[in-house]
Amino acid sequence: MFIYAKGNMDKRIEKYFEKSTHYFDGITHLIFPHTCLQCQVELSRFEKYICVFCWEKLQRTYFESYAEPSSMDKLFWGRLPLNETFSLYYFEKEKPIQEMLHALKYDFKASLGKYCGEKMGKVMLQSEKYKDIQALIPVPIHPKKRFTRGYNQSELLAEGIAQILNVPILLNVVQKTSHNGSQTRRNRFLRWDNAMEQFSLMNELLSYTHVAIVDDVVTTGATLEAMAQLLLSRHPNLRISLLSFAIAK
Ligand SMILES: [Zn+2]
């Protein structure tokens, strides 16, 4: 909740902590991170969370300027009738992007999520492809998980995107129902079955014809496919786009 503090209050609290001794150092850094999350180098006033060098190390997809189908489009070929897809970065293990996604998910960097969403939105604005997306549906996490984590990283990304694209976020359409562990050891088809059972439709999408589902990272695409299929089962003519911060290479 501290991370959400904004405006003058920020400055006042920051000043207070600056005057304090090393006792508060750990806390100030937790609340107002001034060092790069990746390399710990001190950030300038113009940098946020990650230094420019570390942002540079993340590999951009440039999907927004693709005229031909991207690897993300191809991942869903034969699985979904899709409108547009977008991912900002490529995901590779043991690379800075992995730490970045970990920070988004587990390190209470709630404001980082929104910031990353804004980055996505600004890039999407450069393309005509995403112009008619009417609303965003973040991939939900189980309420229990949301409670312990304090936020849903996909929802934070959606907040950032929504602010730039000026579209609403629909939080009450799909709910995560089952609470099962990691899917990493299952194969693609087992994962899909499993993913399909994990969501349920809470409300109908009455006034929208084109929505985008938002996720943090796409690997097999099973989660996005399951959510899209669920929406299509009720709204067969709904146009669906898929947006993620990163996609496995
Ligand atoms: Zn750095």
Distance 238 CA to ligand 1 centre (A): 41
Distance 170 CA to ligand 1 centre (A): 34
Q: Does a structural domain hold residue 86?
A: yes
pLDDT tens figures, 8-47: 444 444 444 444 434 444 455 555 558 888 888 988 888 8
Instruction: Answer yes or no: pTM beyond 0.95.
Output: no
- The mean predicted confidence, pLDDT, of the chain is 83
What's the CATH number where 170 sits? 3.40.50
Q: Does a structural domain hold residue 133?
A: yes
Q: Does a structural domain hold residue 111?
A: yes
Residue whose C-alpha is closest to residue 227's, from 120, 154, 140, 160: 140
What is the residue type of 44?
A: S
Number of domains making up the chain: 1
Domain extent, residue 113, equals 58-248
Q: Does a structural domain hold residue 64?
A: yes
Q: Does a structural domain hold residue 201?
A: yes
Give the strand pairing for 239-248 and 210-218. Answer: parallel
- Residues listed for the chain: 249
Q: Does a structural domain hold residue 7?
A: no
Cβ 179 vs Cβ 142: under 8 Å: yes
pLDDT tens figures, 83-127: 999 999 999 888 888 888 888 887 656 788 999 999 999 999 999
Q: Does a structural domain hold residue 27?
A: no
Distance 129 CA to ligand 1 centre (A): 32
CA dist., res. 57 & res. 182, Å (int):
28
Distance 196 CA to ligand 1 centre (A): 38
Cβ 104 vs Cβ 112: under 8 Å: yes
Q: Does a structural domain hold residue 8?
A: no
Where does 81-167 have alpha helices with state H? 96-106, 110-125, 143-149, 153-165
Residue whose C-alpha is closest to residue 32's, from 111, 106, 98: 111
Distance 28 CA to ligand 1 centre (A): 19
pLDDT tier for residue 81 given thresholds of 50, 70 and 90: very high
Element (H, E) at 197: helix 188-197
